[in-house]
Amino acid sequence: MHALLLWDEIHTIVPHEGFREVDFKRSVLMERAAAVVERPHAPTPDEHQRVHRRVKALLMNGPKPWMFCERPPNFPHATRYPQTFN
């Protein structure tokens, strides 16, 4: 079982300051929960540039070896979505 504690925060990347996502599918309860733990973050121009450089390097040079992982033996969810590991 997983739980979020009241001092936990979920930081979400938003396109600009003051951005408010309109999602009519979320329940009132989920909206209230999000208001407690969700913190929007609008990336600064410096953050945009750093990510741009890293993504460009990744695309030009390929992924680093540490980015790959093998499916753990007896992974409990491996049979639910086997196409995930193909």
Q: Going by DSSP bridges, is the β-strand pair 10-13/38-41 parallel, antiparallel, or unpaired?
A: parallel
- Cross-strand pairs, 11: 39
More confident residue, 16 or 26: 16
Please report whether residue 3 resides in a domain: no
- pLDDT of 84 > 90? The answer is no
End-to-end CA distance of the chain: 28
The overall average pLDDT reported for the chain is 79
- Sequence-separated (6 or more) residues with CB below 8 Å from residue 40: 11, 12, 13, 14, 19
Please report whether residue 67 resides in a domain: yes
Three-class DSSP category at 12: strand
Nearest CA to 8 out of 41, 34, 42, 43 is that of 34
- pLDDT of 31 > 60? The answer is yes
The reported pLDDT for the residue numbered 32 is 83
Please report whether residue 2 resides in a domain: no
Please report whether residue 4 resides in a domain: no
Please report whether residue 44 resides in a domain: yes
Please report whether residue 45 resides in a domain: yes
Total tally of structural domains belonging to the chain: 1
Look up the domain containing 23 and give its range: 10-71+78-85
